[in-house]
Every structure is written in structure tokens, then in C-alpha cells.
Chains A and B, each alone.
Chain A
């Protein structure tokens, strides 16, 4: 099975960040980056399928030069090769624009299965996978917690609300958007890290794909006007400072005011 896994690099959860002076994105200089959480699980799902059924895992990542770090980590974990779509301003892309780049980059690949994460931790649209399926003309399922190969295709387990699940069958090729938690994430081994250095990374410039860039780009249907900190409507009584005192105050309140203990 030839499996493509689309991965995105996002600002690390704990990194220091502020809104950029343009008001349209965040200040990138302050950030550290990591692989998007759901995408790490998508990669894991791809690697497990390859281990069970053979084939190849190709990591696909759009972003500026800094994403080479995330690509290298994917290769170290076991992806066989990678495609890097160089795009300098990923914050400016909406999920349709991103999916157009990814679809164009896959033009010569003809994968059996395309895996994406369900949702990114930065923009959080939760759409790139399903859009990519539409652009590639593939059947799809999202919020998937399990992928099994069977005769003539795959069977996936979709997560629904309130603890419900559903199995869905479909033929290959197909696209599956993976939900966090699909399997235990592996670490890269020393051997894996060594091997990664020799693996192939195909670089394509976004501008050469004929879908982005000021001229060729189809008009955006949604524009982000500004980023801002949400107004917090705090009604909580907060206790700060010395943990011992704060804890004692809280216990007092819970006992005599809220009367819950």
C-alpha cells in the first residue's frame, strides 16, 4: 500500500507567543514548533498499516524552511521519503488553498491511501482533509480512530458524539482524517534518526504548482481580518500566590460558601 501522510508544523503548545503587529498572524520570531498533534497520530496510523501490509509511507508537508525539522522527525520515525511544498507564509493560507497545494504536489504520486490529521492546533479549521479528498476525487471519512485493511478497500471506525462510534467501509484509493488517540505514538530510535539523513525529500516550490502565488491563485472566499485576545468574562474567584494559603482559602470557600464538600 502506498500511503501519503499529510503533516503540519504548528507552534508548540508551550511556546511564548503574541499577536504580530500586522494583527493578522502571530509573531513567528518568538515561537518554537512541533508536529500538529492529530498529524502525529495520522503518521502513526500510516506506519502501523505499512508494518502490517507492506508498502511505503510518504510524508507530505507544506510550509517554510523551518518545517524540515518536522519532516526529518517523520522520516526518523519510519516514513520512507517526504515531499516538502515550500510555502513561506502558511498563516496566509486557508484550508482550501493549502489543500490545493497538497493536491497538486500529489499529482504524480497516485497513493492508495492519504492520511491527514483531523484538525490543526493553530488554525483549527478541521477541513483540510475533507477538502483534499474532494480535490483528489477520493471517498473520505473524518474523525477516524481505527483503519483496517480488508478485501477491496478499508474499514474505518469513526468517532461520533457522546461515546458513539460507527464503522464505515470504502474502496481504495481513499482519504482518512485521523483523530488523536488512534494508537500509541512511537519515538524515533537512534537508528531511525541516522537513517533519516539518507532518505529522499522532494522539494517543490508552491509557486511552481500553479495553484498559489498572486496571479495564479483563485480568489479566497474567506479573509481573516484581525486576530485579537478574546475578552475573558471571568466570574471566578481566583486565589493566587502562596500555594498553601491559596489552597486553604479554596477549601474554606468550598466548605462554607459553595457547600460542596
Chain B
């Protein structure tokens, strides 16, 4: 691991950590925390962390601030912001009681390339403020874990063999979300996709309900796409959806809620009822052919 701006790196090594299990990871990290006595423990907000961090924190009587998106320091205390109500509201959270405190940081909330150059601590606006750090020392830590501690048995990773569609190859994607209301309305979006020569994508609830096959799901659990144009129709723009499409060159959003988070990543948008806007769009496309 690149020892960027770090004082010290612990390499936690044990044969029983090779395959991830929440039991082994919790045991190992608890032992490391006893040794290192940190005040704050930060994790990336990944599916794996989501699986063991709540258990680790709870075993110490703590709650982790999961999915933090930014921070500030107020009177020497850390204040973390996180999203509530699927991104409609933010909340500021503050740690109380004794260390250690736990948090997981949402994907994309912090960017490694915004740090100063290798070996320098970040100063204001990322400017180096002092001499480069020497490379951090790597200390090996061997936790005590026995096979009997591990109650779950993880098997091989696999992909669904059915997945044949590669949305990543599409130049234009028209994606539909829960705003479409029912399966019977999907043809409306299909018509638009046809008029644009686009592939059809979807947010998770549409695939969960079986209205479109899973292979069309865009987002952290589905496909990651970056087409020339991504059109999101009746999709609110939850963070798990955004990570799958925000690298698209041009993003268009159609949503009746002007405050929907999708408009933050959109280049163009129509605020309105998709049942009026989409037919009008099909017509406008045909007219301008």
C-alpha cells in the first residue's frame, strides 16, 4: 500500500483472514484496536465494511457513522455529514463518549487525487505545507484467531451466467426508475429508447420488481456505464445508482421533483411529469429527424 501521508501502516496478517468472514475480521480488528488505541477508525463504505463494521462497533458499545459524505471540525470536534431519506436530507452527526469512534466514508466523497503529492501532508486546498514525510513504517500484526471462532463458511465468488448484455458498450442509454409506476408503462420508455437508438437501463427497484431483467440494472450492484449520453427518467439519483453512471459524458434527467439529487449530476434536465414529457420527447425527436 502506498504510504501516502501516513504515520504508520499495520499489515494485519493471518491465514484465517484470507477469505472474508465477519467473525474473523471483527476479532482481528478488535485486537488491533486494543494495540493501536486510535481515536477514530475510518473505513470505505463498501458492501464488505457494511457487513462487519456494525458488529465490530457494537461489540464495543458503539455505533458507526455509516456512509459519511463530508466532515468539518467544530471546536476541535469532528462533525460528519451523512444522508437520510435516500439523499433528500443531510444530517450532521457528532461522536459522543470515549474513543474509539467509527465511520465509513461513502464512495466518491473523498478523492485521493485531491491530496497533495506523494509524501506530503495536505495543506489548505491541497497545497503542500511542510517538508515531505518519510515513507511510513509498515508493522506486521498477527491477530489470534482460531478456526472455531468463525461461524460462517464463505464459498467461491461467482457471476450470474445469464448476464449476457453488456450495457458498457452502448453509446446511448435510456434508464427508467420507479417514477414509471407500473410494468405496463415500460413501453413508453422503450419507444423513446427506440427513437434515440438507445439501450434500455433501469434503477434497482425496476429490476427487483421483475419489470426489466437484472442485467439492465445500473449502479453499485449492477453495471457501471459511461455512455455518450445517459438519460435518467423517473430516477431519484440515490448514491448507489449514481456510482454506476456518473462518468457518462452527457447526463439528462427527467423528474417531477426539482430537488431530486439526479439533477446534481445532470447536464440537462426537464422538471415535469414523465408521462407528458416522454411522449413529447419522442415526438420532438421524430420531428427533428
| Contact surface of A with B, Cβ cutoff 8 Å | 11, 13, 17, 19, 26, 37, 41, 94-96, 99, 121-131, 133-135, 139-143, 158-171, 180-181, 184-185, 218-230, 232-241, 243-244, 246-248, 250-255, 258, 260-261
Q: List 9 A-B contacts (CB under 8 A).
A: A127-B58, A134-B59, A142-B51, A160-B47, A221-B62, A224-B92, A224-B93, A227-B89, A237-B269
Contacts of A226 in B (CB 8 A): 91-92
| Contact A124 B67, beta carbon cutoff 8 Å | yes
- How many angstroms between the C-alpha atoms of A142 and B86 in the bound complex? 19
Contacts of A163 in B (CB 8 A): 159-160, 163, 221-223
Contacts of B151 in A (CB 8 A): 139, 170-171
The contact string, 1 if C-beta is below 8 Å from chain A, for chain B 167-210, is 00000100000100000000000000000100000001101111
- How many angstroms between the C-alpha atoms of A5 and B233 in the bound complex? 34
* CB of B127 within 8 Å of the partner chain: no
Of the candidates B57, B85, B277, the one whose C-beta lies within 8 Å of that of A247 is B277
Of the candidates A140, A222, A235, the one whose C-beta lies within 8 Å of that of B267 is A235
* CB of B249 within 8 Å of the partner chain: yes
Q: Name which residue of chain B comes closest to A122, CB basis.
A: B85
- How many angstroms between the C-alpha atoms of A163 and B86 in the bound complex? 22
Contacts of A124 in B (CB 8 A): 67, 82-86
Contacts of A251 in B (CB 8 A): 281, 284-285, 288
| Contact B269 A239, beta carbon cutoff 8 Å | yes
Instruction: Given the known inter-chain contacts A142-B51, A239-B270, please indicate yes or no for A180 contacting B208, CB distance below 8 A.
Output: yes
Query: From residue B259, how far is it (CB to closest CB) to chain A in Å?
Result: 7
Of the candidates A141, A168, A222, A253, the one whose C-beta lies within 8 Å of that of B96 is A222
Contacts of A128 in B (CB 8 A): 54
| Contact B250 A127, beta carbon cutoff 8 Å | no
- How many angstroms between the C-alpha atoms of A164 and B273 in the bound complex? 35
Contacts of A228 in B (CB 8 A): 89-92
Instruction: Given the known inter-chain contacts A170-B153, A180-B205, A244-B280, please indicate yes or no for A258 contacting B92, CB distance below 8 A.
Output: no
Count of chain B residues with Cβ under 8 Å from any Cβ of A?
Answer: 92
Contacts of A17 in B (CB 8 A): 85
| Contact B58 A96, beta carbon cutoff 8 Å | yes
Starting from the known contacts A185-B209, A225-B94, 11 additional A-B residue pairs (CB-CB under 8 Å) come to A26-B89, A41-B208, A124-B86, A134-B58, A166-B154, A169-B153, A222-B63, A227-B91, A246-B270, A248-B280, A260-B229
- How many angstroms between the C-alpha atoms of A253 and B268 in the bound complex? 8
Secondary structure class of chain A's binding surface, majority of residues: mixed
* CB of B113 within 8 Å of the partner chain: no
* CB of B95 within 8 Å of the partner chain: yes
- How many angstroms between the C-alpha atoms of A162 and B59 in the bound complex? 30
| Contact B283 A165, beta carbon cutoff 8 Å | no
| Contact A239 B268, beta carbon cutoff 8 Å | yes
| Contact A167 B155, beta carbon cutoff 8 Å | yes
Instruction: Given the known inter-chain contacts A164-B159, A222-B95, please indicate yes or no for A127 contacting B284, CB distance below 8 A.
Output: no
- How many angstroms between the C-alpha atoms of A230 and B93 in the bound complex? 14
Contacts of B214 in A (CB 8 A): 181
* CB of B97 within 8 Å of the partner chain: yes
Q: Name which residue of chain B comes closest to A119, CB basis.
A: B50
- How many angstroms between the C-alpha atoms of A233 and B61 in the bound complex? 37
| Contact B280 A246, beta carbon cutoff 8 Å | yes
Of the candidates A122, A127, A170, A238, the one whose C-beta lies within 8 Å of that of B152 is A170
* CB of B36 within 8 Å of the partner chain: no
| Contact B221 A223, beta carbon cutoff 8 Å | no
* CB of B241 within 8 Å of the partner chain: no
| Contact B90 A160, beta carbon cutoff 8 Å | no
| Contact A238 B153, beta carbon cutoff 8 Å | no
